[in-house]
Amino acid sequence: MKSICTLILCFWQGIYGVAQVCGPIDPTFGDGGQAIGVTLGPQAWINRSRILAQPDGKIIQVGDLHGYNGYNSAFIAVRYNANGTPDGTFGTNGKAISLLSLNDNSMADAVLQNDGKIVIAGLTYSQGESDFMLIRLNSSGNLDPGFGINGQVITSLSSDFDYLHSVGLQPDGKIIVAGTSSDRTNLCQIQDYPFAKSVVVRYKTDGIVDSSFGDNGKIIFNTDNFDDRGNAVSIQPDGKILTSTVSSYDCSCEVDYYGGLYWFCRNSLLVIQRYKSNGSPDTTFGKNGKVIDTLMLNQYSRSRILPQPNGKIVVASGVQNGFMVERYNNDGSRDNSFGVAGKFFTRFGQDGDYLTLNDAVIQPDGKIVLAGGSNYSVEEMLIVRCNVDGTPDNQFYTNGIALFHVGPQNSYNASTSVVMQGGKIIVGGQMSNFQSNNMLIVRLLDPFLLSLGPIVTRGGAVVFCEGKNVTLSANVLGTFQWYRNGSAIDGATGNVYTAASSGIYSLLVNNAGVCGISDTVVVTVIDNPEPDIYENGAVTFCDGENVILSTSNTGSLQWFNNGTPINGATAVNYTANTGGSYSVTAINPGGCSGSSSPVVVTVKSNAVPVINWTGDLNFCEGGNVVLSTTTPDNRQWYKMAAPSVARQVQLLPLPAAVLTPNPTVVRLPIPLW
C-alpha cells in the first residue's frame, strides 16, 4: 500500500528585527494587511495552495482542505477583490468548496483560462492507488459540467501511483500536465524495483485526453534508469512545451524513525526537456531536446520554468543551502550574461538544508521573484528577488530578501505561491498554530515607498553621565513606535522620546500606508563613580593624634571636610587630624562624578584637670580630705609615691575601693606622701 507524505515547509529564521517591523506587508490590503480565505480548526489542515491573478485585478486562491466537515479532503477556491476583501459574486460569500468524494484528494497546481474558468490539478487516492485528477470551475466558482464528468477528470497511468505536480495552458486552450508515474507493487525490493517515470499528458478543452499528442496523448520517459519526478511544465510564446524533471540516483531502501521503510536517493539531476506542440522532442533544444544540469537537488526538489518573451528560459529551483535561478538561451545553451556563469544563487540556512522553491514569477520589468521555504520548522514567509541580469536586487528589502511573519508570534508561516497584481507582489500561503490553520494572501509594499526615512533630531549630547538624558524627536507626522536595541519600547508611541539608558535607538513611522525607519541613534550613558572611604584606625581620638582615610577609586579625587574642599587633598589617602564630616568626590575619565558617604571624625581636647579640696590637706592618721574635679571626661585618680633620691615622681593609681559614688570626689585616708 502506498503512502502520501505531506510536508509543511517553512523557512529558517534569521533576519528578524526592526527592519522587518516596517514591512513588507501592505497594511491597506485585506484586513490589516492580510486576507484570510479560510480558517480550519486544529484537527483539519491545508496541504497546499496556489494563487492566480485575474486581468481585472481580482485574485483567486485555490487549495485543498483535509479533515473538513468529516470529509477526507475537499478543494476550495476563494476569490478576493483587488483590495483583498472577499468577492461576494464568487461562490458563497467569495468561497467555492468542492466536496468531490470521500477519497483523499490533494491539489498541486492551478491555472486560469482566458475565459475566467479555473483548472485545478492534483491527485486522488483510493484503495492503494493514486491517479491524476483535474477539476474545472466556471467563473462563478461552480464545477463546470462541460469538463470531463461533472467537472472532473481522473487519469490512471499505472497500477500503483500517479502524482500530478504541474499544469500549463496552451494558447489554443488545451491543458498540459506534468507528473510522475510508477508501478511500485513492492517498494524496497530493489531487484525488481521499477523506477519512477516522468509523465506529460495533454487534454482537450473538454477534459478528454488529446490522442494527437505524443503517444496517444501521453509522453512517458525515464532518464537512464534513474528515479524520475516530473515537477514542472510551461508553455513558450511559440507554443512549444517545456518540462523539468528531478532525476535521482544512488538510491536505497532506508528505515525511518518509526521502523518503516522508505526509498531514499542521495543525488539528483535537473533535466529540462522541450517538445513541439505535437509532443515530439524539439531537437533544436540541447541534445535531442534535452538539457541535463548537475544541480545539487534532492529527490523532492521543485522547479518552476519561466519562458521570457525574447525566447530565453528561466528555471528556478530549490537547492542545497539556497535558491538557484538559471537562464538558458532558446537553444538550451547556458546564458552566461546572466548572474555568474548563467546562475543566480542565494544562500540561506544551515549546511545540508535543502530549500523548497514553491513558486516563481517574472515582473513586468523582467525582475524575477521567488517564493519558498526550507525543511526546518520555523516561522517566516520568504520572498527573494533578483535583477534582470541575475544579480541580487539590493533595493528589495534586505539585500534582495523579504523575510516576514504573518499572524500571532507563535504561528508557523509558509509562502506557497506568488503572482503579480498591477505591478505589486501578492504572496499566498498558510498560517497555522495549535488553535487554527489558515489559508491567506498578503500584498507587499513597494520597497521604494519604504523610504519615508524619518529623521531623529537629538536635543543634546548622546554621551552623558548617569542621571541625565537626551530628548529624541521625529521630523514627520504619523503613528510612531520607538525601539531600543531592536525591541519596541513599551508606551513609547509619541513623536518625542526621552532616552536615559544606553542603547541603539530608532523610530518606526507609519504615514498613510507608507512606512519608514529612521537611522539609528546610539546613546551612551556613563556610570557615575561610587567611591568608598576606608578608615585605617579609630575615628575618635585625642588632640594631637590622627586617622588615615583611604579610597579605592582612581581618577581625579578631591577630599572634603564639612562640605568644603580641602586644599591639596587629591590623593587616594588623606590624614585627618581635626574633627569634621569627611567625604571624597571622584571624577572618572568620562567627566562623571560621584561622592562617598560621609565619615565623621571626632577629636577630643587635651584639657588640664584642676583639683579642688574640702578640708585641711594636713591631718592626723585616721583623718581624710575630700578632693574633687570638674573634668567631664573619663577619669583616673593617682597617688604620687614618695620622691626618689633622683627627685623623680611616680604616679600610682588609687584602688577603686576608695572612690566615692561621685566620680569627681575621692577621700584620701592616708597622706599623699
Domain locations in the chain as residue ranges: 463-521, 534-604, 612-668
For 291, what's the count of Cα atoms within 13 Å in the CB-facing half-sphere?
23
Whole-angstrom Cα distance, residue 577 to residue 562? Answer: 14
pLDDT tens figures, 461-517: 999 999 999 999 988 788 888 999 888 899 999 999 999 999 999 888 876 555 677
pLDDT tens figures, 169-212: 999 999 999 999 887 545 565 444 557 889 999 999 999 999 99
Is 379's pLDDT higher than 70? no
Cβ distance 553 to 563 under 8 Å?
no
The three-class DSSP label of residue 623 is coil
Is 671's pLDDT higher than 60? no
Return the pLDDT at 312.
95
Whole-angstrom Cα distance, residue 369 to residue 72? Answer: 34
Cβ distance 87 to 79 under 8 Å?
yes
Report residue 399's pLDDT band, with 50, 70 and 90 as the boundaries: confident
Is 16's pLDDT higher than 80? no
Mean pLDDT of the chain: 83
Count the Cβ atoms, other than its own, within 10 Å of residue 75.
Answer: 25
Mean pLDDT computed over 75-94? 93
Is 604's pLDDT higher than 50? yes
Give 580 or 26, the one with higher predicted confidence: 580
pLDDT tens figures, 620-649: 888 888 888 876 666 777 776 544 343 344
Sign, CA torsion 141/429/32/455: negative
Residues with Cβ < 8 Å from 86, sequence gap 6 or more? 35, 78, 79, 80, 93, 94, 95
Is 323's pLDDT higher than 50? yes
Is 573's pLDDT higher than 60? yes
Give 119 or 455, the one with higher predicted confidence: 119
pLDDT tens figures, 50-79: 999 999 999 999 998 887 766 667 889 999
Strands 625-628 and 612-614: antiparallel
Q: Which CATH superfamily is domain 463-521 in?
A: Immunoglobulins (2.60.40.10)
- Cα 562 from chain centroid (whole Å): 58
Return the pLDDT at 194.
59
Residues of 600-614 as b/e, b for ≥16 C-beta within 10 angstroms?
Answer: ebebeeeeeeeeeee
Is 373's pLDDT higher than 90? no
Is 269's pLDDT higher than 50? yes
Cβ distance 584 to 557 under 8 Å?
yes
Whole-angstrom Cα distance, residue 641 to residue 658? Answer: 17
Is 1's pLDDT higher than 60? no
Class of domain 534-604: mainly beta
Q: Which of 506, 376, 378 is nearest to 454 (CA)?
A: 506
Do 463-521 and 534-604 fold alike per CATH? yes
pLDDT tens figures, 201-254: 999 999 999 999 999 999 998 877 677 888 899 999 999 999 999 888 777 777
* Rounded percentage of the chain residues whose pLDDT exceeds 70: 82
Report residue 165's pLDDT band, with 50, 70 and 90 as the boundaries: very high
Strands 197-203 and 638-640: unpaired
Cell of 380: 517566516
Report residue 353's pLDDT band, with 50, 70 and 90 as the boundaries: low
* Rounded percentage of the chain residues whose pLDDT exceeds 90: 47
Cβ distance 413 to 431 under 8 Å?
yes
Cβ distance 416 to 430 under 8 Å?
yes
Return the pLDDT at 649.
41
Is 21's pLDDT higher than 50? no
Whole-angstrom Cα distance, residue 99 to residue 206? Answer: 21
Whole-angstrom Cα distance, residue 167 to residue 580? Answer: 95
Is 598's pLDDT higher than 60? yes
Mean pLDDT computed over 398-412? 81
Return the pLDDT at 380.
78
Is 0.85 surpassed by the pTM of this model? no
Residue ranges in 323-441 assigned as alpha helix (H): none
Highest mean pLDDT among 301-315, 375-389, 558-572: 558-572
Return the pLDDT at 610.
83
Is 256's pLDDT higher than 50? yes
Mean pLDDT computed over 643-656? 45
Return the pLDDT at 426.
95
Q: Which of 252, 216, 203, 248 is nearest to 230 (CA)?
A: 248
Whole-angstrom Cα distance, residue 471 to residue 493? Answer: 14
